[in-house]
Amino acid sequence: MSPVRQRLGTLVRSATFRLLLRLLPIIAAVSIAYAFVSFHSTRDRITELTENDALRTSELIKSATHYGMLLHRKDEVHHTLRQLVKSPGVAGIRIYDKQGTIIFSANSEEIGRRVSPSAEACVDCHAKGLDRPAREPSHRFRQFRARDGSRVLGLINPIQNEPSCSTAACHAHRPEQTVLGVLDVQMSMDFMERAIGTTRIQLAWATVAMLAIVSLATAIFIHRVVRRPVQRICEGTERVAAGDFTASIEVETADEIGRLAEAFNRMTRDLGRAREEVQRWASELERRVAEKTEELSRVERHVAHVDKMSSLGKLAASVAHELNNPLAGILNYAKLIDRQLRLETLPEASREELAHFTELVQQESLRCGGIVRNLLAFARQSQVVRAQARLNAVVQASLMLIRHHLALNDVKLETELIEGDDTLTCDASQLEQALVALMINAVEAMKTTPTRVLGVTLGASGDKLDLRISDTGVGIPPEAMSHIFEPFFSTKEAEGGVGLGLAVVYGIMQSHGYTIEVESEPGKGTTFHLQLTRQPAGQG
């Protein structure tokens, strides 16, 4: 979008434009009303001036023809009328007698013609359908159209029976006869119509100019009195919204906008103080949260260690048995070797048998050493130390630790290891701790079931390894499924369960970036599904 169109769009959407748009109809209505009144007033004034001019002309004609009519000099009167009709604006001059007959006229062809009292030129002075005057005004104006279509202003001026006329020897009239005839002066209205048309055009342009000037003045007024203060308030509000609570608006007036600006300044000062207070409390809260987090972390590490020691205690009997069996074998074979060594001569068969015994002693010794090492690694409390390991070996080491526990509880073991690449990067000791905890939970869940099968299934798919540990135990109640990984939640409270084993397992999974899911059906068993990535997040 071009800058001009963008600025135009901003202007159209502004409050100033909308306010001016609402005021323009009012301004236009007032201007048009003013022009309408002015036009009618001017037209009335022009009409009045035209009528006064016609009246003066009529009186002038009466004065000019008075002497000739008094002496009954018709030619002189006709000559005077023909000269006067040549004056600018005079369209016609007639003199009617009382019966409506034209006795004098500037147009000689009209002389002797009788005009009906109902004609347009006479209807204003005569009642409709009557031959007597409706009233006898000193003069009467009317407007009508001539035969050529032009507008004409007619003036009916009665010719009064003056004493000089009623006593004249030439044609005396009765004194009771008040009106001798009517002088009809017809003035052309072309000049008046041109003046009215010019006035109409001038008023239209004046109205447009006044509308433009008033609109411009209103826009300037709105801009200075409304838009600029409101814009400063908007800019201050945007600064406050951006986090600048030092923003303030200069108060220039004491009106509503000025009070609004002052209230805005008070608000920003209060917000600034509140923000400082919030920041201070946030810093204090952050410090306290950090302290509590560190304290909770220490507690969690301690609880994890306690749970590990608890599991280690449960393994003590199995470890003791596992150690006793190979040690007893070592002792027996050592005695046999000692007995054979006492003989002076050793046959070839004896030497082979002795070598076999010695190999068995070594194997059993290595077995005991592996058990002890696994036990020490399991019991050691340490941070996550990742290294490359083989998942098959970690699972086998975990199974070795609980082998005697399985035998004591008559649990059948079914395993399916990975055939192929089983390598991953992890903390083998912590992963082994999690597997042992899950396997011990599985064994304890099958103590009261007739069928006791512990299934350990491994699989590989791309960069992920799958490990499933399933049992045929009592299962987990549906209402407890969403809480099994919560600390201190246990379904074995009657058996003295602490509720930390699965919480520790979940923590180990989370620290490695692994996921753990559980599926269980009461009375049929439980399956824990572990998804392990070969490489931790952020490593290739």
DSSP-H helix ranges across 71-126: 74-84
Strands 387-390 and 423-426: antiparallel
Rounded to an integer, what distance in angstroms lies between the CA atom of residue 142 and that of residue 119?
12
The pLDDT assigned to 471 comes to 95
Tokens encoding 451: 């069928």
The pLDDT assigned to 128 comes to 43
The pLDDT assigned to 130 comes to 38
Phi and psi at 94, nearest 5°, equal: -135, 150
Domain boundaries, position 146 = 72-192
Say if 262 falls within a structural domain: no
Sorted by sequence, the CB contacts under 8 Å of residue 284 that are 6+ apart come out as none
Residue type, 413: L
C-alpha separations of 3 from 8, 96, 227 in Å = 8, 80, 21
The pLDDT assigned to 119 comes to 61
The CATH code of the domain that includes 528 is 3.30.565.10
Say if 327 falls within a structural domain: no
Of the three residues 165, 192, 219, the one that is the final residue of a domain is 192
Q: What burial class does residue 29 get, using C-beta atoms within 10 Å of its C-beta: 0-12 exposed, 13-18 middle, 19+ buried?
A: exposed
Of the three residues 192, 211, 243, the one that is the final residue of a domain is 192
The pLDDT assigned to 12 comes to 65
Is the distance from CB of 108 to CB of 118 less than 8 angstroms? Answer: no
Tokens encoding 475: 């299962």
Number of domains in the chain: 2
Rounded to an integer, what distance in angstroms lies between the CA atom of residue 311 and that of residue 374?
13
Q: Which residues of the chain have pLDDT under 50?
A: 127-138, 381, 494, 496-498
Rounded to an integer, what distance in angstroms lies between the CA atom of residue 214 and that of residue 221?
10
Say if 264 falls within a structural domain: no
The CATH code of the domain that includes 131 is 3.30.450.20
Of the three residues 167, 192, 217, the one that is the final residue of a domain is 192
Sorted by sequence, the CB contacts under 8 Å of residue 500 that are 6+ apart come out as 303, 304, 306, 307, 310, 487, 488
Is the distance from CB of 215 to CB of 20 less than 8 angstroms? Answer: yes
Assessment of whether the complete model's pTM goes beyond 0.75: no
DSSP code string of 50-118: HHHHHHHHHHHHHHHHHHHHHTT-HHHHHHHHHHHTTSTTEEEEEEEETTSBEEEESSGGGTT-B--TT
Q: What burial class does residue 347 get, using C-beta atoms within 10 Å of its C-beta: 0-12 exposed, 13-18 middle, 19+ buried?
A: exposed
Strands (E), 407-506: 412-416, 423-426, 453-461, 464-470
Say if 44 falls within a structural domain: no
Q: How many CB atoms lie within 10 A of CB 519?
A: 14
